[in-house]
Amino acid sequence: MLEEIRELLKRIDQIVDSESRRTDDQIDEPKEKLLMFQDSEENLSSIHSQVKELTNELDLFKERSIKLQKRVDELKPLEDKCDSLEDQIKKSELKQEGYIFTIKVISNWIPSQKENIDVLVALASSPNHESTFKKLHKETTIPAVTLKNRIMPILADN
């Protein structure tokens, strides 16, 4: 009978051992899931903090963008003024070049006062203070020979 009891105890031990393993296996699966959820929670926390940082950076960029747009809007009217002033400067430089050219003509050529005035008026009325023999002959009372031999060589030199 003792032997039977030992056999029964062994069997009970085997059954308990088997049930224990089965229970452990059943417990392991939820444990793994729990660990996965914990990892996911940590990842979500990390992702949430990263999203928060990126949102803050985005807000800063939006503020900077708004400030830059305001600055551009403030400077936009000045662009038109600058264009206008550039045109005025170009015209002034062109006039200055014309005056310098006229002074060179006067300093290199001293004919009669009437011829001088006629040539200056013709040059001043022409675009870029330039003129051709035909235009000068048409717009002045200077004889063609004087224009050809005296004035045109001086104009060509300058």
Model-level pTM? 0.38
Half-sphere exposure of 65 (CA within 13 A, CB side): 6
User: Residue 27 and residue 114: Cα distance in Å, rounded?
Assistant: 121
DSSP state, 127?
Answer: G
User: Which pLDDT does position 100 carry in this prediction?
Assistant: 65
pLDDT at 110 over 70: no
Half-sphere exposure of 147 (CA within 13 A, CB side): 17
DSSP state, 69?
Answer: H
pLDDT in tens, 67-94: 999 998 888 888 888 888 899 888 887 7
Q: Cβ–Cβ contacts within 10 Å for residue 152, how many?
A: 16
